[in-house]
Structure 1
Amino acid sequence: MRLRIQTSGKAEKGRLSAWIQAFRLHFVPPSFIPVTLAAAIAWARYSVFDPVAFVLVFAGVTVHHVGLNMLDDVLDYLHAVDRAWGDERNPYSGGSGVLTEGLLSVSQMRKGVIVCYTFTIGIWLYLGYDRGWPVAAIGAIGILSSIFYTAPPVKFAYRGFGELGLLVNFGPVLVLGSYYVQRGTLDTEPLVVSLVPGFLMWSMIVINEIPDYEEDRRSGKLNLVARFGREAGVVLYEAGLLCAFGIIAGSVFFGVAPFPALLGFAALPPALRSVRLLRNFYQDRLKMIPANLAIIKVYLISGVALIAGYLLHGFTG
């Protein structure tokens, strides 16, 4: 009896670990940080904050991103994009690995996707009804884009539009939608500032495509890196960072964003480090892992710093 209990416990722990791996939580902040940034802008500029609506949006986009991660895993696996790498696997590219390693089945992952999207759509329908058609429209763009990122017949990630789609959805779509939920209108400032997380998301997806260059080309997933090569990927990565930090500086200089938004430059040192690492090791999927990790840190630091900047402005402005 004791042996069976221990075995069951290990099995349950193994399943839980597999699901956590499938969620790819390290890629989820690009969903909830823009939501928090939008709420911070609305509060700092107009003293508007609805905590219930914020929690609903925060929960909806977070669960949605988890569902998106699993959906992409399933479709890339079925399209023979992802494969098992063993000890040579870069944990920031090529999916979560739960399917290629046999930790979860396609059927289990599909059920997880259905649960996540059902939860997300429920919140979207409620907020669309409660806050009006702009929220419904913006939410529809986000949900449909996430589905057809890798799902046929669109599969825009396979056609060279995935990077742009992520820039738009994880920038303007998330920020403007969340801002509208808070304030009931759209403004120029959140649109401009939303391009910062948008371009950082561009860089994040580009650097994660570089280790998968050969596999993506073989499977027909012709993203920008697969189309133009690893060297072009390095340039595209740097361009995204340049645009993100340029927008922070420009928005403050031209009076669109408040001066404390310059706190976003706290992410510049790890950004420069990531560029140096990528330039040196873009041909080696294992040696470039620190660069993959660095862009996650850049995103987190810049996002939290921007939010802090707006909160500081709200308290002192």
Structure 2
Amino acid sequence: MVQNQPGVLQMIRAPFLSSILSPLLAGTLLAVAVNQSFSLLGFVLVMVMGIGLHAATNVYNDIYDTLQGTDRVNVHRNQFSGGSGILIRFPELQGKMFFLARFSLVIALLATIGLMFVIDRALWPFLWGLYLLSAFFSKYYTAAPFKLASRGFGEVSVLFAFGPMAVLVAAVSQGVGLHPAVLVAMPITGLSTLSILLLGQLIDLPADKETGKLGVAARAGTKATAYLFVLVQFLLISNVLVLGLGFMKSSWPVLISLVPYAAMLPSIAHLAIQYHDNEDELKKAAGKNVQLHLAFSILLTIGLGFCLLT
């Protein structure tokens, strides 16, 4: 039976683009609260920039995980971790996927250039520094010679890319730099995305170890990584509490984003710790954690939106 080739949305793993939307929306809303003004053009351009960079990251990750053998030996691939497996089923698409990754970076580059005409010149160094570092992470998270994910820097790059870097570039697109409100909120979304990565590493551990992709799970072990996952979630909760209760009197609506944590985190943490070396049970935890991530991201955006009305 002939398989239909995947489309562009499948190749860029479009459902995972939600991970970049939350920090971009958070940074934008915080900047609007600070500046009391909104640039529609700046918002559109930073969304194009962020989505372009994330799409390139997803495609490059798929390409190099396949070329380095990780995806080929991964028997626990699922919708939450382990890559798409597109190049295993359709190796003839490698050239197209390289083009797609590069094209996504070019689109992000054009959006970055466009933002130069929207923001103050004093913010240009932030804009270009963030684009260049993001583009570097995009390719070299898995690609040689740096292979960040294989050398213990993958977790740090994910934390920064989906937290401080994305939040800051969104704020910059609205004409705001390192304002205290932006600084306090920077880690939140990065911690949320990092939690997804950590459970994914536990599921993919056998394949990662076999091919030398040595993230924190391969280096520290499954039990320690499960506890690290829980710690990351509690750091996120603490960060939201600081933003909502201890920083600005008008930011209390962001606390609604913690409602899903009260409802879902106990069972997810139990699964992660109890079954830290059981891939099948971890897949259940990963599925619930993605649901938690999405619910949190939506409510965080809504909460920040309500902050503008208080």
**TM-score of the two chains, using structure 1 as the length reference:** 0.89
Task: State the SS of the aligned residue for 2:87.
Answer: coil
Alpha-carbon shift at residue 130 of structure 1 (Å): 4.5
Identity of counterpart residues, as a percentage? 23
Name 2:98's counterpart in structure 1. Answer: 110
2:256 to 245, 263, 269: 263
Task: State the SS of the aligned residue for 1:39.
Answer: helix
Q: Which amino acid aligns with 2:258?
A: F
CA distance in 1, matches of 2:126, 2:178: 9
2:83 to 95, 117, 131: 95
Alignment of structure 1 residues 302-313 onto 2, 5 Å: 302-313=296-307
- Deviations along 1:80-114, whole A, 9 cap, x unmatched? 1112657x532222211111223753222112212
Q: Is the 8 A contact 1:207 1:292 kept in 2?
A: yes
Q: Is the 8 A contact 2:28 2:170 kept in 1?
A: yes
Q: Is the 8 A contact 2:31 2:171 kept in 1?
A: yes
Task: State the SS of the aligned residue for 2:307.
Answer: helix
Name 1:24's counterpart in structure 2. Answer: 13
Distance verdict in 2 for CA 1:186–1:240, change over 3 Å: same
Tell whether 2:163 aligns with 1:171.
yes
- Deviations along 1:209-254, whole A, 9 cap, x unmatched? 1111111111111111111111122111111101000111123332
Task: State the SS of the aligned residue for 2:72.
Answer: coil
Alpha-carbon shift at residue 176 of structure 1 (Å): 0.8
CA distance in 1, matches of 2:210, 2:293: 30
1:218 to 210, 223, 234: 210
Q: Which amino acid aligns with 1:303?
A: S
Tell whether 2:127 aligns with 1:135.
yes
Task: State the SS of the aligned residue for 1:34.
Answer: helix
Tell whether 2:310 aligns with 1:298.
no
Task: State the SS of the aligned residue for 1:183.
Answer: coil
Q: Which amino acid aligns with 2:156?
A: L
Task: State the SS of the aligned residue for 1:112.
Answer: helix
Alignment of structure 1 residues 31-42 onto 2, 5 Å: 31-42=20-31
CA distance in 1, matches of 2:65, 2:190: 23
1:281 to 275, 280, 285: 275
- Deviations along 1:167-226, whole A, 9 cap, x unmatched? 011101000111011024321211211211111111111111111111111111111111
- Deviations along 1:100-137, whole A, 9 cap, x unmatched? 22375322211221221121121123324643232112
Alignment of structure 1 residues 5-16 onto 2, 5 Å: 14-15=4-5
1:202 to 194, 205, 225: 194
Task: State the SS of the aligned residue for 1:287.
Answer: helix
CA distance in 1, matches of 2:26, 2:39: 14
Name 1:188's counterpart in structure 2. Answer: 180
Tell whether 2:238 aligns with 1:246.
yes
Q: Which amino acid aligns with 1:295?
A: N
**TM-score of the two chains, using structure 2 as the length reference:** 0.90
Alpha-carbon shift at residue 271 of structure 1 (Å): 2.5
Tell whether 2:110 aligns with 1:122.
yes
Distance verdict in 2 for CA 1:177–1:89, change over 3 Å: closer
CA distance in 2, matches of 1:282, 1:102: 33
Q: Which amino acid aligns with 1:37?
A: A
Q: Is the 8 A contact 2:77 2:83 kept in 1?
A: no
Aligned Cα root-mean-square deviation (Å) = 2.1
Q: How many residues align?
A: 304
CA distance in 2, matches of 1:145, 1:102: 26
Name 1:4's counterpart in structure 2. Answer: none
- Deviations along 1:59-80, whole A, 9 cap, x unmatched? 2211321221110111111111
Name 1:64's counterpart in structure 2. Answer: 53
CA distance in 2, matches of 1:47, 1:274: 39
Structure 1 residues 150-159 or 280-289, which shifts more?
Answer: 280-289
- Deviations along 1:132-173, whole A, 9 cap, x unmatched? 232112222212122221122111111011101110111010
Task: State the SS of the aligned residue for 1:145.
Answer: helix
Alpha-carbon shift at residue 18 of structure 1 (Å): 5.0
Distance verdict in 2 for CA 1:103–1:79, change over 3 Å: closer
